[in-house]
Structure 1
Amino acid sequence: MAVRIRAEDIAAVKDRTSIVDVVRDHVTLRSAGVGSLKGLCPFHDEKTPSFTVRESAGTFHCFGCGEGGDVVAFVQKIDHLSFVEAVERLASRLGMELQREEGGAGGPEGGLGRRSRLVEAHRIAQEFYTDLLIKSPDARAARDFLRQRDFNGAQCEPFGVGFSPRGGEDLARLLRGKGFSDEELTLAGLVGRGARGIYDRFRGRLMWPIRDTSGDTIGFGARRIFDDDRIEAKYLNTTETTIYKKSQVLYGIDLAKKTISKGRQAVVVEGYTDVMAAHLSGVESAVATCGTAFGVDHIKLLRRLMRDEPGLDPARIVFTFDGDAAGQKAAMKAFAEDQRWTAQSFVAVAAEGMDPCDLRLRKGAEAVKALVEDAVPMFEFAVRTLIARCDLDTAEGRVQAMKVAAPVINSVKDPSLRPEYQRTVAGWIGVGVEQLADQMRRAGTLKAPNEGPRRREADAPEPDSAELAAAYQMPDLRDPLVNAEAQLLQVLLQYPNAVSPDVYDTVPPEAFVAPAHRAVFDAIRSVVVTEGMTLVQWVDAVTHLAPLAAQPLVSALSVATLPTSIDAATGGPDQRYVDSLVARVREVSLTREIANAMSLMRRLSSDPDADPEQVRDVGTHLQTVQRQLALLREGVS
């Protein structure tokens, strides 16, 4: 017979648990009408909130991705648990003891939950490590390390800092004595397995417990403090387990989540002691990654807590980086993901490259708070980092600086800010505003008559990985033109037969303002259509031809809902709607080409050595494009 939780206990857990309280561990909610609350969905990435919770019904539903259910279903989905594990977790939250009985052949309630066992093992390990830090003579080096950074025992307590013994089997022996099997300890990542059996993974190290948003310890970060430590790595983190995914957790999130939600600001620092120093200095929204770079899943987690959504005042995300090359690389990687935020992104770099821990130690708590308050916009840091590589004392260096700065300015989320940034950056480089504006317009758009295919300028540098990722960041759909581009790509991906094939001849990839949209359109144009190709195969082919960094956008565009009705007769969008999107993108392309041709005409006219034949060719080309634009507008009207 399978052992299962009594039905009465399951009902009691659901009845006594507030679904709103559980959801708020992961999502910041706000009122959405009588009895309803709304927030950003934790199960898919979205710009505007479509995730709704109703306390009276004890249910949730996302109108964006379709996920829904009761509080047990939510915990199952959010933490990747079985039914039994979810019930056990909720019961533990209530302090309720579950009764089990024999019966049935299993079903959703069959089997004892494993996750709760692994979490319990971590809870015991944390208490063990914390107690040793205070009492063990062997932990003197760990205590000295903390004292040297001005952390006393009371200050360490909220963070659960501890010490792992040097013996090698102390924790394993303790947990075995409490009924845990070797398999459970291995799955938890607390022990390793060698030729002579299991051994403690962490030995003679200063320990920080890594907790999830609900406060459960799910892993550890461990710092080397003894010179004779056989593992040379300064930091050793829990390996990936069923409960610990380093790309999805942030150290300090359990302590910071309320402040992040209330103030709609998050501060991302680089280490465990930096989180401690920031919190103790009054910056209680500080978090850090755990042995990995700040990535997309971290963004999703913070966006939900900050209510990072259009229609509200922008939230604020502050990154602290070292001033060295590694810090600059990390900053550029963060900038590459900036379009995923509605929030305003900032970078804080302390003088002399000090991190928050050093800054607090040398200059006090007020200096840490000032570091965060005085952070500069991410855009400014990114541009200054790029142009610092160029020799601005030479004409060649200034041209190079304009080339690397122009794409960054064009990527600014708020179009109304671009002219001001353009003037500011021109001053940094030491060139005229019109020079920089011309470089921005010429960035892969204008072709002189008979020039042939567009190519990267020979003297332009190959972009590094961060710059390449920045080029394909998620486009800002608040820009009406970019929005129209996205809708056209949705039609091409979801209803390819609704668009005339000549669109690929009349609309060049350069017509798309957003680089990511340009890459997707170029991939669509490159697909070889085969007889009997299904829509799934069509989207799959586009995905494989798109640059790796743009592939998530293909997936999003292929499922996004079009803001128009679908014609029941044709099964596709209204043809006038489709034609208007094509015309809008073509109009921008032609307008840009006209502006660039006129700019070239002005430069040629002021050049006494200009080739008269080239002047005539450019003039003829300009008139041709102007006629095309006039005809296009007549057709639309």
Structure 2
Amino acid sequence: MAGRIVRDDVETLRRQADIVRVVGDYTTLKRAGRSFKGLCPFHTERSPSFHVTPGDNFFHCFGCGASGDLYDFLQRIEGLDFPEAVESLARRVGFTLRYEELSARDKQALGQRTKLVDVTKAALAFFREQLYADEGAVAREYLKERGFGREDAERFELGYAPNAWDALSLKLRDQGVRAEDLIATGMSVKNDRGGLRDRFRGRLIFPIHDPGGDVIGFGGRILPGLDYGDFEPPKYLNSAETPLYKKTRVLYGVPQARPDIVRAETVLICEGYTDVMALHQAGFGNAVATCGTAVGVDHLRSVARYAERVVFAFDGDAAGVKAAERAWEAAVELADSAGGGATLELRVLSLPAGQDPADAVREVGADGMRRMVDAALPVVPFVLRHRLADADLTTEGGRTAALREALAILGREPDPDLRREWARTEVAAGIGLAYDFVARSAARQGIELDRHQGVATPATRRAPAAERTGGGGGGGANLDRAQVQRERDVLRVALQHPELVPDEWYELTEEDLSHPVARAVFATIQRAGGVGVDLPAIVDAADDDDLRTTIRGLAVEEEPVPVDAETAAWRVRTLVAQRVEADARALREKLQTLHHQRDHDELIEVQRRLATLEQRRRALTTVVEDDGAVG
């Protein structure tokens, strides 16, 4: 990252970029009046409720409530943070961003990272070139045997490291790369004579990227048929730890998988590079893999940015079960470190013994794998079943030991309702014990099962914006629905057709609107500069995201009838007339309290004011009737 992006560039890019073209890469859009309409890319729907308004540069879905500008769209669809979204958009449209001045220390750190990334990029270019050279035929043949073609290799930028001691080192040294930088990136190591030798030799190469797309390391697999000399190299070899590459923080395939992870709201974590490729090939584009290490806290913290549901697709053997247990321990640690706020729904895909995900998807096909993913077990029942499968349940001592171990596992589940359910279905039923006995044993270990503490449920989806009077907020439940709709109609005119708004608009105040959200929208319009101000300025003036979503929704909400100047005038004047009638009603009530002699002067003044209001009311309603807007 090159420091903070200059704010003017952020705004200029926002205005210049074509939101219809960018969003159109993710869903088909068709013109519908002032906006474009299509199926929402954020939720499943059959009838299009997703609107994109190019003039004001925003999107809004009436089905799921998703709303925002172009940066919001990219953040949501790609799982990016804000600076990443800005940089991604700039790359798409060829816009050159400027960055604010950095401190000397930041410049040095940035320069060092940039220099090392340049080395890994050069190494990747060499490896990819070698894959399609004559010597790379052995790697291409291996890929073919595994069912992968050139398209798969290109998608994941695969390469080949020649089976020579220093092919890469010599090539990059000829390009001017310093020896110390080759060593710093882990591409080369010093040999016994003080020269350089390549770390990766005679291997199929899998580049590893950070979430931003920079190449930070590599994984390499040996190939059948190659002569590796007198030593037997490890089947897989990954980059050593470097300033760029930290294996406990990196997942393979994130840049390729991120859009599908966000759309599916699920990430599928494997243990092998070819597992990821096979799953992507079968339609599971949300698959990623660890890089030769167990799933840890940093891995889960990374994927939590994109999805709350994690499915582990580990090999169906004892090592795979152990990997699932370690991943669960990492999830518990992550939740504890976040005060319970970073909760993930963890599930485990049960693969046949001896199979990895690539084997399984080729055996059962895409549909069969989809059924397996849908049937993935929550991690606690998965662990319990495997522990009990290994226990001796034929003796009293064995059952007692199994119960003690099962309760220790169960006690780490934070949701009391799930603890109770799994104590019944997995522990009691699995061991063959009465549930009451299991509950009493749990209580002796300090684990509560029967005291209800509330059901932990996922965050509920927000109600569609179209179902909310103005985007949420309390206070509207007892309001007259027709009145609420009238207020909504007036605000929609103000946002969609400001040129049609009559002079009476300027008489309105917040008090003339009954619904709290309608008042908030009105106040936001006024705070932004009044009716006719560009919509982005009004959205920016909103107090929170809910209000911003409401305003965007009103700005693209379809009108039930065509709106012209007469219709717009009728809507606004109706609200003004209601206020005038309310004032007149208050004066008539006051007249009932005045004495014709004692309060003579005040009575005359009230009558005068009442006459003025009645005249004003008649003028407003007469205009309405003359306009033909009411029957």
Q: TM-score range by the shorter chain?
A: 0.5 to 0.7
- The CA distance in 2 between the partners of 1:190 and 1:252, in whole Å, is 20
- The CA distance in 2 between the partners of 1:409 and 1:14, in whole Å, is 50
Given candidates 437, 440, 445, the residue that maps to 2:439 is 437
- TM-superposed deviation, 1:177: 2.9
- Give the structure 1 partner of residue 304 of structure 2: 303
- The CA distance in 2 between the partners of 1:333 and 1:343, in whole Å, is 15
- The CA distance in 2 between the partners of 1:155 and 1:190, in whole Å, is 24
- TM-superposed deviation, 1:113: 1.0
- Give the structure 1 partner of residue 138 of structure 2: 141
In structure 2, do the counterparts of structure 1 residues 9 and 435 end up closer, same or farther at CA, with 3 Å as the change threshold?
closer
- TM-superposed deviation, 1:55: 9.9
- The CA distance in 2 between the partners of 1:298 and 1:336, in whole Å, is 12
Whether the 8 Å contact between 1:149 and 1:361 is mirrored in structure 2 is: no
- Give the structure 1 partner of residue 430 of structure 2: 428
Give the aligned residue type for 2:162. P
- Give the structure 2 partner of residue 228 of structure 1: 228
- The CA distance in 2 between the partners of 1:401 and 1:108, in whole Å, is 55
Give the aligned residue type for 2:433. V
Structure-to-structure mapping, 1:173-572, within 5 angstroms: 173-194=170-191, 195-225=193-223, 226-228=226-228, 230=231, 232-306=233-307, 315-339=308-332, 340=335, 342-425=343-426, 426-443=428-445
- The CA distance in 1 between the partners of 2:411 and 2:434, in whole Å, is 17
| Residue correspondences, number | 390
- The CA distance in 1 between the partners of 2:262 and 2:312, in whole Å, is 17
Give the aligned residue type for 2:319. A
Structure 1: stretches of 5+ with no match in the other structure: 22-28, 37-52, 61-69, 76-85, 307-314, 447-476, 481-637
In structure 2, do the counterparts of structure 1 residues 439 and 267 end up closer, same or farther at CA, with 3 Å as the change threshold?
same
Whether the 8 Å contact between 2:271 and 2:292 is mirrored in structure 1 is: no
Whether the 8 Å contact between 1:280 and 1:365 is mirrored in structure 2 is: no
Whether the 8 Å contact between 1:150 and 1:361 is mirrored in structure 2 is: no
- The CA distance in 1 between the partners of 2:280 and 2:291, in whole Å, is 17
In structure 2, do the counterparts of structure 1 residues 428 and 130 end up closer, same or farther at CA, with 3 Å as the change threshold?
same
User: Are residue 115 (structure 1) and residue 113 (structure 2) matched?
Assistant: yes
- TM-superposed deviation, 1:418: 2.6
Whether the 8 Å contact between 2:164 and 2:201 is mirrored in structure 1 is: yes
- The C-alpha deviation readout for 1:446-468, integer Å capped at 9, x for no partner, is 9xxxxxxxxxxxxxxxxxxxxxx
- TM-superposed deviation, 1:249: 0.9
- TM-superposed deviation, 1:141: 2.3
Identical aligned residues as a percent: 36
Whether the 8 Å contact between 2:294 and 2:327 is mirrored in structure 1 is: no
In structure 2, do the counterparts of structure 1 residues 202 and 442 end up closer, same or farther at CA, with 3 Å as the change threshold?
same
- The C-alpha deviation readout for 1:400-458, integer Å capped at 9, x for no partner, is 22111122223323222233222212111111111111111111589xxxxxxxxxxxx
- The CA distance in 2 between the partners of 1:110 and 1:328, in whole Å, is 44
- The CA distance in 1 between the partners of 2:211 and 2:347, in whole Å, is 24
Give the aligned residue type for 2:326. K
Give the aligned residue type for 1:337. A
Structure-to-structure mapping, 1:62-77, within 5 angstroms: none
Whether the 8 Å contact between 1:282 and 1:369 is mirrored in structure 2 is: no
Structure-to-structure mapping, 1:1-150, within 5 angstroms: 109=107, 113-136=111-134, 138-150=135-147
Give the aligned residue type for 1:150. G
- The CA distance in 2 between the partners of 1:107 and 1:322, in whole Å, is 45
- Give the structure 2 partner of residue 154 of structure 1: 151
Report the secondary structure of 1:163's partner residue: strand
- The CA distance in 2 between the partners of 1:9 and 1:356, in whole Å, is 42
Given candidates 159, 162, 165, the residue that maps to 2:162 is 165
- The CA distance in 2 between the partners of 1:394 and 1:173, in whole Å, is 66
In structure 2, do the counterparts of structure 1 residues 107 and 12 end up closer, same or farther at CA, with 3 Å as the change threshold?
farther
- TM-superposed deviation, 1:324: 2.0
TM-score, structure 2 length as denominator?
Answer: 0.54
Compute the RMSD of aligned alpha carbons: 4.4
TM-score, structure 1 length as denominator?
Answer: 0.54
Report the secondary structure of 1:294's partner residue: coil
Give the aligned residue type for 1:300. R
- The CA distance in 2 between the partners of 1:347 and 1:289, in whole Å, is 15
- TM-superposed deviation, 1:197: 1.0
- The CA distance in 1 between the partners of 2:103 and 2:442, in whole Å, is 68
In structure 2, do the counterparts of structure 1 residues 269 and 107 end up closer, same or farther at CA, with 3 Å as the change threshold?
closer
- The CA distance in 1 between the partners of 2:105 and 2:317, in whole Å, is 56
Structure 2: stretches of 5+ with no match in the other structure: 18-41, 43-55, 59-67, 76-80, 336-341, 457-631
Report the secondary structure of 1:284's partner residue: coil
- TM-superposed deviation, 1:96: 7.3
- The CA distance in 1 between the partners of 2:319 and 2:368, in whole Å, is 23
Whether the 8 Å contact between 1:13 and 1:90 is mirrored in structure 2 is: no
Give the aligned residue type for 1:211. H
For the pair shown, which has the larger CA radius of gyration, 1 or 2? 2
- The CA distance in 1 between the partners of 2:205 and 2:429, in whole Å, is 49
- The CA distance in 1 between the partners of 2:377 and 2:233, in whole Å, is 36
Give the aligned residue type for 1:350. L
- The CA distance in 1 between the partners of 2:269 and 2:288, in whole Å, is 5
- The CA distance in 2 between the partners of 1:379 and 1:160, in whole Å, is 37
- The CA distance in 2 between the partners of 1:380 and 1:110, in whole Å, is 50
- TM-superposed deviation, 1:369: 2.5
- The CA distance in 1 between the partners of 2:125 and 2:358, in whole Å, is 25
In structure 2, do the counterparts of structure 1 residues 111 and 253 end up closer, same or farther at CA, with 3 Å as the change threshold?
closer
- The CA distance in 2 between the partners of 1:8 and 1:404, in whole Å, is 52
